[in-house]
Structure 1
Amino acid sequence: MQCLTCKNLSFEIICKDCQNNLLIPSFHKREIEDGFFNYSFYTLSELEDLISSKYYFHGDRVFNILAKLSFAKFAQNFIFPNQVIAIPIDDHTRHDFSHTAILTKHLKSQFITPKYNCLKASNIVKYAGKDLEFRQKNPRRFKLTNISNEMTILCDDIITTGATIREAKKALEKKNNQVIFSLTLADAKL
């Protein structure tokens, strides 16, 4: 097959050279609310084409590589005094896989346990390309099941305005969960 980034022949959808040279994560921190932070591994401009693969049949392979290079490495170095539950934001499977579930799966470690199908949006609205005003007028209305009184981490692919993460955080806090931070693959504001 052909590498998506350099177009050379490769056994993987993104060749090892591109993984090692072009997809080196750098850690970015953004305050979403007073004292609450999102951490991301790339800027959106670095990954825009690869992130859009979530709309195609091959996206699961792309997201597994990106998650291995970023989320999995983060999990290897994460130490916390309590067990933490990693929750994908709206891990729906509209394209035969869930990109947020793939990212969250790679956080599994001694201190982090992924939990799926528990934070779902009841309003399926597409935010891509929409401004903050649109996002505020069309909330996702998250429904949370099977989680209460836990330490949690939220996981998503992109942070743009932070509206989705703030809304997901509030849904978790209503059931007495503590959201320590959120993790995203890319930050659109960088």
Structure 2
Amino acid sequence: MHCILCENLSFYIICKNCQNRYLQPSFYKREIEDGFFNYSFYALSEIQELINSKYYFYGDKVYKILAYLSFKTFALNFSYKQKVFAIAIDDHTRHDFSHTAILASSLKSKYILPKYNILKAQNHIKYAGKDLKYRQKNPRRFKVKNLTKQTTILCDDLITTGSTILEAKKALENKNNQVLFSLTLADAKI
């Protein structure tokens, strides 16, 4: 196999050298609602092509590497007074995998337990390249299944306007869940 970044032979889709050289995460914090924060590990401009791998058959391998480098490291350093559930935003399967489920699964730790098929969009409209006005006019209409009165963290691959995360947060809160914050791989505004 060849590394998709440097094209050298590798056992991984992104070789260890490129992981160390190009994919060391930073930590970005953005307030998207009064007192509610999203934390990201990359600027979208740094990993745009890798984020787009979710549309291809090899995307699960890319997302597993990105999740390991960022979400897994975060989880190992996170502590809380009680168990927290990692909730993937709309973890339906595309191209034989769910990119948000991969992210949530990498958060499994002493304090974080991933939960799947909890938060599903009823409206499957595409937001890529759309502005805030369009997103607000076409909400995802999230439905929460089998989760009430729990402490949660939201997981997604990308934050642009924050409208999807805020809509997901509201849906969880409507079922008496607490949402501590959200985590995304990348922030489009950095």
What range is the shorter-chain TM-score in? over 0.9
Residue equivalent to 1:62: 62
Measure, in 2, the Cα distance between the counterparts of 1:48 and 1:14. 15
Letter in 2 for 1:54: K
Aligned partner of residue 102 in structure 1, secondary structure: helix
Aligned partner of residue 157 in structure 1, secondary structure: strand
Measure, in 2, the Cα distance between the counterparts of 1:185 and 1:95. 19
Residue equivalent to 2:145: 145
Measure, in 2, the Cα distance between the counterparts of 1:3 and 1:30. 32
| Residues 1:34 and 2:34 are matched in the alignment | yes
1:21-170 mapped onto 2 (5 Å cutoff): 21-170=21-170
Q: TM-score, normalised by structure 1?
A: 0.99
Give % identity: 71
Letter in 2 for 1:173: E
Measure, in 2, the Cα distance between the counterparts of 1:149 and 1:140. 22
Aligned partner of residue 161 in structure 1, secondary structure: coil
Gaps of 5+ in 1: none
Gaps of 5+ in 2: none
Measure, in 1, the Cα distance between the counterparts of 2:94 and 2:105. 18
Aligned partner of residue 69 in structure 1, secondary structure: helix
> C-alpha deviations, 1:26-65, integer Å up to 9, x for none?
0000000000000000000000000100000000000000
Measure, in 2, the Cα distance between the counterparts of 1:116 and 1:4. 30
Measure, in 2, the Cα distance between the counterparts of 1:83 and 1:4. 37
Aligned partner of residue 70 in structure 1, secondary structure: helix
1:2-13 mapped onto 2 (5 Å cutoff): 2-13=2-13
| Residues 1:185 and 2:185 are matched in the alignment | yes
Q: CA deviation at 1:94?
A: 2.1
